[in-house]
Amino acid sequence: MSVELQKRPESKAETEEQLTDGFHLLIDALKLNGLNTIYGVPGIPITDFGRLAQASGMRVLSFRHEQHAGNAAAIAGYLTKKPGLCLTVSAPGFLNGLTALANATTNCFPMILLSGSSEREIVDLQQGDYEEMDQLAIAKPLCKAAFRVLHAEDIGIAVARAIRAAVSGRPGGVYLDLPAKLFGQVMNATAGAESLVKVIDPAPEQLPSQASVKRALDVIKSAKKPLIILGKGAAYAQADDVVKSFVEKSGIPFLPMSMAKGLLPDMHPQNAGAARSLVLKESDVVIMVGARLNWLLSHGKGKSWGEPGSKKFVQIDIEPREMDSNVEIAAPLVGDIGSCLSELLAGMGDQFPAAPDGWKSAITTKRDANTAKMNQRLGSDTTPMDFHTALGALREIMQQRPDAMLVNEGANTLDFARSIINMSKPRKRLDVGTWGIMGIGMGAAVAAAVETGHPVLAVEGDSAFGFSGMEVETICRYNLPVCIVVFNNNGIYRGTDENENGDGDVAPTVFVKNSRYDKMMEAFGGVGVYATNRDELTQAVNEAMDSGKPTLINAVIDENAGTESGRIGNLNPQSVVKK
Ligand code: ADP
Ligand code: TZD
Ligand code: MG
């Protein structure tokens, strides 16, 4: 699109010059690179940008708060391997989006935060512009790369740099600062079109060196009790067939991190998830595939990892600096998952270590015992429901609907659902990720529905849901097939805490008792259900998943059922001083 020049009537040729402007150049640059969906909140100075983007055929989804738009963009990036786009206004909108940008970077999800900003001259002299803030400086330490564009003719290059920075190497968040004046800048349309860049091969294959492959093969061949740990980097890589071949050809037991669940089906005979403590402790060679040895794996050391020095690590990661971050890595393999695993497969031939039958059978025995114990509890049908009753119902539903997307956050609601609900396909489980952040729920649910077209089941603690709850209006507005189940136990972890000072306030972890979250959905035309038992819950979820109607089910959970901090109570300091 272009606009006519209005002044400078020197010659006819000049008055007919076709012009374009910053708005259109940005839209064209994004579309040229296959980025066709924007998640954001409109306002000065990007209102017209959103409008024009929509008019140009892009999908522009407006949220009620930027953090959720940003979380949606991050999840879109995770699911598609293309940077998700989040669009915000200056200062406060930008800051609201920044949490999501930082969270995306922490999780290695590619996204671009596009923020309008105020005038450089005024901001830099701190003269008090409308929504004044030095956004670029603030964004820089919280993302992978941050750029500002001052001239319309640089938009093409800036978008190209942002895309490359987001998806190449270890993916992450990128900030693009767009001062208000940029949008209105005009330039010759032909020159504008020529200034755009279609990024060729934005995330090139990264092959590991031959020496590193040989070293890894030697370590793997020496293993007596090998273990594979699959992380969300492996899910992100979309190298599903190679991952499957490597696991199955090797026969090595695997442990999926939470968002890697389903990369191979949880019901796979080699899944050691239900014997997690045993395999972490007793394995001698651990092959990390797109997973970090961070707090989620006790930093690769300590009691849960058995005797010090009892293990060798092989680590596959695209980020060289990840190696030795917590413990010594005997065989670092730096490259993309697909390339590294293909090299290992080729180098192994048929010489995978015949993991002793004793190792495999010890795992199977432990796993079967734990699974049997769990299955017994999952059949329970208590009223009010406890976590096992409610999740037993949801587990059956997800088993019957392998294509459905699952979103999950909370404390007990997260920890129980993670171990109870089996996933059978890759990249179906979206959760609180590396930070254990609350508030990803509705953003993730919107992106999951928009990017995949499949129905979404969002399993939410009542506290967790509250962080993004207003986005139920967004879900209704776009009529998305999202079924939210709020596990309502009257508060954070449980609803039974007492205030000891007697001032009439409730304890800090307790909410209004017996709230009706279902009414929130009804307020916007969606379906609200109040479910007090397993049958009601099962029926309501199935109906929602069949109809695709936005639905919120308030599942009444026994307020005594949870434990403080779910399964990470060990990280929660508690006073031993009695006053
Ligand atoms: P989890 O939480 O599931 O354990 P992490 O987020 O800790 O997973 O780790 C993911 C790792 O995967 C990161 O270290 C990241 O650098 C890496 N990664 C992401 N994409 C790729 C890829 N295509 N190839 C190899 N490694 C990748
Ligand atoms: N704020 C943010 C952004 N992230 C957080 N993780 C927290 C606060 C602290 N927090 C947790 O770690 S879990 C949780 C909070 C507030 C909520 C747990 O309550 P819930 O789940 O109702 O969601 P359960 O099922 O009652 O345990
Ligand atoms: Mg709760």
Closest CA to 135 of 184, 77, 89: 89
Mutate to test the pocket of ligand 2, among 385, 492, 509 (most ligand atoms within 8 A of CB): 492
Same domain, 473 and 545: yes
511 C-beta closer than 6 A to ligand 2 = no
Ligand 3 centroid to Cα of residue 463, in Å, is: 5
Quote the domain boundaries for residue 162: 17-195
- Residue 296 forms part of a structural domain: yes
* Count of structural domains within the chain: 3
* The pLDDT value given to residue 12: 57
- Residue 151 forms part of a structural domain: yes
Mean pLDDT value across residues 316-320: 98
- Residue 575 forms part of a structural domain: no
Same domain, 279 and 391: no
pLDDT band at 528 (very low <50, low <70, confident <90, very high): very high
* The pLDDT value given to residue 225: 96
CATH number for the domain including 285?
Answer: 3.40.50.1220
413 C-beta closer than 6 A to ligand 2 = yes
562 C-beta closer than 6 A to ligand 2 = yes
Backbone angles phi, psi at 369, to 5 degrees: -65, -45
- Give residue-wise pLDDT tens across range 112-149: 999 999 999 999 999 999 999 999 999 999 999 999 99
What angle in degrees, to the nearest 10, is found between the helix axes of 387-400 and 412-420?
Answer: 40
Closest CA to 540 of 550, 572, 333: 550
Supply 394's token pair. Answer: 């949801």
* The pLDDT value given to residue 140: 98
Amino acid at 566: G
Closest CA to 526 of 484, 569, 566, 570: 484
Same domain, 360 and 389: no
* The pLDDT value given to residue 7: 56
Ligand 1 pocket by C-beta < 6 Å: which residues? Answer: 107-108, 170-171, 231-233, 236-237, 257, 259-260, 290-292, 294, 296, 317-319, 322, 336-337, 434
Rounded percentage of the chain residues whose pLDDT exceeds 70: 97
Same domain, 402 and 535: yes
- Give residue-wise pLDDT tens across range 253-307: 999 999 999 999 999 999 999 999 999 999 999 999 999 999 999 999 999 999 9
Task: Report the nearest-CA residue for atom 19 of ligand 1.
Answer: 233
Ligand 2 centroid to Cα of residue 556, in Å, is: 18
pLDDT greater than 90 at residue 74: yes
Same domain, 220 and 161: no
- Residue 453 forms part of a structural domain: yes
Mean pLDDT value across residues 237-260: 97
- Residue 370 forms part of a structural domain: no
Q: Are strands 111-117 and 84-88 parallel, antiparallel or unpaired?
A: parallel
- Residue 91 forms part of a structural domain: yes
Boundary residue ending a domain (305, 330, 365): 365
Ligand 1 centroid to Cα of residue 411, in Å, is: 23
pLDDT band at 108 (very low <50, low <70, confident <90, very high): very high
- Give residue-wise pLDDT tens across range 157-203: 999 999 999 999 999 999 999 999 999 999 999 999 999 999 999 99
Backbone angles phi, psi at 45, to 5 degrees: -105, 25
Q: Are strands 145-148 and 173-179 parallel, antiparallel or unpaired?
A: parallel
* The pLDDT value given to residue 274: 96
Q: Are strands 331-334 and 429-431 parallel, antiparallel or unpaired?
A: unpaired
Same domain, 320 and 440: no
Which atom of ligand 1 is least distant from the CA of 233? 12
Same domain, 38 and 181: yes
Same domain, 284 and 139: no
Task: Report the nearest-CA residue for atom 22 of ligand 1.
Answer: 336
Measured between alpha carbons, how far is residue 191 from residues 129, 168, 368, 536 in Å? Answer: 32, 28, 67, 62
Mean pLDDT value across residues 489-501: 95
Same domain, 176 and 241: no
- Residue 571 forms part of a structural domain: no
Render 513-565 in DSSP notation, one character per residue. Answer: TT--THHHHHTTT-EEEEE-SHHHHHHHHHHHHHH---EEEEEEB-TTS--TT
Q: Which H helix or E strand runs over 73?
A: helix 66-80
Same domain, 97 and 232: no
Chain centroid, CA 83 distance in Å: 12
Mutate to test the pocket of ligand 1, among 319, 325, 333, 339 (most ligand atoms within 8 A of CB): 319
* The pLDDT value given to residue 390: 98
pLDDT greater than 70 at residue 234: yes
**Cα distance between residue 185 and residue 175, in whole Å:** 21
Supply 488's token pair. Answer: 């309502």
Mutate to test the pocket of ligand 1, among 206, 229, 259, 292 (most ligand atoms within 8 A of CB): 292
52-76 b/e with 16+ CB inside 10 Å = b?
bbeebebebbbbbbbbbbbbbbbbb
Same domain, 142 and 32: yes
pLDDT band at 440 (very low <50, low <70, confident <90, very high): very high
**Cα distance between residue 86 and residue 461, in whole Å:** 26
CATH number for the domain including 128?
Answer: 3.40.50.970
Mean pLDDT of the chain: 95
Same domain, 281 and 417: no
* The pLDDT value given to residue 109: 99
Boundary residue ending a domain (195, 223, 244): 195
Secondary structure (3-state) at 11: coil
Boundary residue ending a domain (308, 341, 365): 365
pLDDT greater than 60 at residue 9: no
pTM of the model: 0.96
- Give residue-wise pLDDT tens across range 366-415: 999 999 999 999 988 999 999 999 999 999 999 999 999 999 999 999 99
pLDDT greater than 70 at residue 508: yes
- Residue 286 forms part of a structural domain: yes
* The pLDDT value given to residue 1: 45
What angle in degrees, to the nearest 10, is found between the helix axes of 22-32 and 155-167?
Answer: 40
In terms of C-beta distances under 8 Å and separation of at least 24 residues, what long-range contacts does 55-61 make, across chains too? 56/1, 56/27, 56/31, 57/31, 58/27, 58/30, 58/31, 59/450, 60/87, 61/37, 61/446, 61/450, 61/474, 61/478
Task: Report the nearest-CA residue for atom 21 of ligand 1.
Answer: 233
Whose atoms come closest to the Cα of 436: which ligand? 2
